[in-house]
Amino acid sequence: MGIGNLLLVPEADYNLLGRDLIIEMGINIEVVNEEIKIKLCPLRVEDEEKINSEVWYTPDSVGRLNIPPFSVIIKDPETPIRVKQYPISPEGKNGLKPEIERLLSKGLLESCMSPFNTPILPIKKADGSYRLVHDLREINKRTVARFPVVANPYTLLSRLGPEKQYYSVIDLKDAFWACPLDEKSRDYFAFEWEDPVTHRRQQLRWTVLPQGFTESPNLFGQALEQILQEYQTGEGVTLIQYVDDLLIAGETEDKVRAESIRLLNFLSAKGLKVSKAKLQFVEEEVKYLGHYLRKGEKKIDPERVKGILSIPPPKSKKQIRQLLGLMGYCRQWIENYSTKVKFSYEKLSQGGLVKWDEKDDKHLKALQHDLVNAPVLSLPDLKRPFYLFVNTDSGTAYGVLTQEWAGKKKPVGYLSKLLDPVSRGWPTCLQALVACALLVEEANKITFNGELRVLSPHNIRGILQQKAEKWITDARLLKYEGILLDSPKLTLEVTALQNPAQFLYGRPSEDGLAHECLSTIEEQTKIRPDLDEEELEEGDRLFVDGSSRVINGKRVSGYAIVGGEGLAVIESGPLSGFWSAQACELYAVLRALQLLKDKSAEIVDCTCHTRLKGIRCDTPPVKYRNWDSYVKRQQSRPRGPPEEYPCCREDGTPRGSRQPSRRERQRGGIGAGTGVASLINQQKEMKTLRMSVDKDLGRIEQAIDGLVKSVLLTTEAVIRTKERGWIHASRIKGPVEEPKAWTITSEPGDTKLTLKRGLGGNELGIPKWSKKHTQDHT
């Protein structure tokens, strides 16, 4: 071991210390923020001798792949994209000059005269040199992108397994520049360059895939994946590729060392270059895709955490999205992540400018605290069973995926998802059913559909088989059954544990009350016992209704409340023209409930009977009934002429309900919203029976069997007939009359007139006489 002094020269473009000496000493010297960092290089001399030196990147070397050139398709190529060059400082031009000259000498750039032009930017690096950055945002907007076939970093590391103890990470240098670009597509990537010495202006274009182009990662990733199909790893070694980053993992040091050398020589033969400064060669802990991998475990990169902590509170929606993007990459390490970031999504849904207050700062600091104290997660072992704990909280599904090691549960990842708005309105136990289905789908991305035991404080199987069909549509039910019941490697279990912490350490809380899901759903969804169809013996009776229709081309909406002995108008008024008749009627019921505060009364409505089950009010017992049922009962009682009962029309229907339109009466249809109405058909004589269908349908069918020849039973939207059973009311049509006047029709093309007249018809509906005259002119 020796001790020496190192001199930092910021103006130097390259390290003055020779490459041979660096290899001989086994160190790597890097300058970061004007500080010298020395990294021991695990690449030994004997390893260096086994590796083809052509694989290492040098400023004078360029990688080339022997593949067909890639073509690019943009929308509307006849309209060129022209963006003027940004002003560049003399210092920036002088910094870019050696880089552009190098690219020209290596054939990566060439002169051109293109109708397209986009700007470039000089970016200064830590060592004082400049990087050429091409602003291709306008080109990216017009590009017809191929479907991205890129590995998912969220699940990519699931292939490793905890038995892998040694790793090598290979970073390909300037990988996109190794892919040739088709001659016809090069004009799209032209830019203007002015030499700072000769002041000559010219256009240059790329002959390879440029960096900053939206298609470059996908195209290169697919090309490299096809090349790696020729490479077969040894036994006990795994190779993972993500775009231009390669990871080799194995159980022993010797296997990983031999495989790494063989892979480097393979890449050299294919024309690719590797950054020696970024090579991580046979180490127990490596950095890959923002994670630190060590002995079968992964943790967040501290540099990433430091970068997130340094972000100031967001002041715009764009900054909120950027924060969510950075935090989302770390969601596997944060318990109940979806609930903790819900406040940010609420900010995005608000209109106008973002108002960030102290409460939001508190939520953000709590998130940062969880990120700093993020646990170390275990890499999944696909040969072992997985355990998934699931629960719900505030409309969010959350849980933890674990595996057992030495009798202890080790977390593989924390999972969380927001429930959809429909599910959030269901009882808690039904929300747990949806949560299990969502998190099982997320867990399958990590377990690759391996053996999975799902544990929850809710009886998921019992809910799915007995209660779900009353709340969930057939499509959803079929999906949930396929995920939770039809999976051969999935087991559903009930546990007394209430949260992931209790699940990991096996200590249920003492105050945790076990519940029976089926009875809990019945208790949460039962109808209020004080709401029934029996009349109150005392108290007021109010009639409510709402209406929305078009008068003189303008929609008019309103509501009314009628009551008292003389059925006087208690309250009425106009509403917004955007409101539907149903909304107006609900508003009328709401106003009636407010008027009846601290009173006992009965509310009679027209069609809102089934819509009012969710209304709650702090008033004494208030009963509401269907208006059709009330009118039927009132008609059976002795009464005077109809004009004494303003709540009914002469035909007995409530005044608040809509009369069938003239078109509906002509064709024999039933108008929507009329409640129980009779079928108007002038061609047949029939008896009609008016009654509500809220009770036993079988008893009603027996009561009216034989009374009606064609129509058996009607509701607001459906009709039951002897011939076709239950059908929609819109399918009932009256007889079609034959036209009794001459009609003229025209067709495109040659002049052609068709005259037709029908006179009456026979019993089959066929015209008795018709005359057709056609005259063609050519």
Q: In sequence order, which residues have a C-beta less than 8 Å from that of residue 92 and are 6 or more positions away?
A: 122, 130
State how far the Cα of 231 lies from the Cα of 422, in Å rounded to an integer. Answer: 50
DSSP helix/strand/coil, 743: strand
Residues of the chain with pLDDT under 70: 1-42, 501, 503-514, 526-537, 606-778
Within 10 angstroms of residue 70's Cβ, the number of other Cβ atoms is: 19
* ∠ CA 112-116-117, rounded to 5°: 85
Start-end of CATH 3.10.20.370 domains in the chain? 377-525
**Which one-letter DSSP state was computed for residue 763?**
T
Q: Is 184 left (phi over 0), alpha (psi -120 to 50) or beta?
A: alpha
What pLDDT is attached to residue 305?
Answer: 87
Rg for the chain, CA atoms, rounded? 38
DSSP helix/strand/coil, 658: coil
CATH class, range 540-644 = alpha beta
Element (H, E) at 267: helix 253-270
CATH 3.30.70.20 fits 377-525, yes or no: no
Residues 307-355: tens digit of each pLDDT = 888 888 888 888 899 888 888 888 888 888 888 888 888 888 887 788 8
Residues 68-100: tens digit of each pLDDT = 999 999 999 999 999 999 999 999 999 999 999
State how far the Cα of 661 lies from the Cα of 730, in Å rounded to an integer. Answer: 13
State how far the Cα of 417 lies from the Cα of 448, in Å rounded to an integer. Answer: 19
Q: Where are the beta strands (DSSP E) in 470-600?
A: 490-494, 540-551, 554-563, 568-575
Output the DSSP codes for 674-695: -SS-----TTS---------SS
**Which one-letter DSSP state was computed for residue 564?**
T
What pLDDT is attached to residue 613?
Answer: 34
In a 13 Å sphere around the CA of 245, the CA atoms on its Cβ side amount to: 14
Q: In sequence order, which residues have a C-beta less than 8 Å from that of residue 296 and are 6 or more positions away?
A: 160, 161, 162, 163, 164, 165, 378, 379
Start-end of CATH 3.30.420.10 domains in the chain? 540-644
Q: Kind of pairing, strands 540-551 and 770-776?
A: unpaired
What pLDDT is attached to residue 505?
Answer: 62
What pLDDT is attached to residue 120?
Answer: 95
CATH class, range 302-372 = alpha beta
Q: In sequence order, which residues have a C-beta less than 8 Å from that of residue 293 and are 6 or more positions away?
A: 157, 160, 167, 249, 285, 286, 287, 379
Element (H, E) at 358: helix 358-372
In order of 103, 749, 755, 771, 777, the CA distances from 743 in angstroms are 78, 20, 6, 11, 20
DSSP 3-state helix, strand, coil percentages of the chain (rounded to 5)? 30, 25, 45
Output the DSSP codes for 42-97: ---HHHHHHS-GGGB--TT------SPPB---BSSTTS--B-PPPP--HHHHHHHH
pTM score above 0.95: no
What pLDDT is attached to residue 725?
Answer: 61
Exposure string over 588-608, b if 16+ CB within 10 A, otherwise e: bbebbbebbeeeebbbbbbbb
Start-end of CATH 3.30.70.270 domains in the chain? 90-295
Identify which of 233, 221, 292, 288 has the alpha carbon closest to the alpha carbon of residue 261: 233
Q: Which two tokens stand for residue 193?
A: 């360059």
390 contacts 311 by C-beta, under 8 angstroms? no
218 contacts 186 by C-beta, under 8 angstroms? no
Q: In sequence order, which residues have a C-beta less than 8 Å from that of residue 421 and are 6 or more positions away?
A: none
């052509």: which residue's tokens?
54
State how far the Cα of 251 lies from the Cα of 292, in Å rounded to an integer. Answer: 17
In order of 97, 106, 634, the CA distances from 205 in angstroms are 15, 13, 88
DSSP helix/strand/coil, 171: strand
| Homologous superfamily (CATH) for 90-295 | Reverse transcriptase/Diguanylate cyclase domain (3.30.70.270)
State how far the Cα of 642 lies from the Cα of 635, in Å rounded to an integer. Answer: 10
Q: Kind of pairing, strands 452-456 and 408-418?
A: unpaired
State how far the Cα of 260 lies from the Cα of 101, in Å rounded to an integer. Answer: 34
State how far the Cα of 545 lies from the Cα of 565, in Å rounded to an integer. Answer: 18
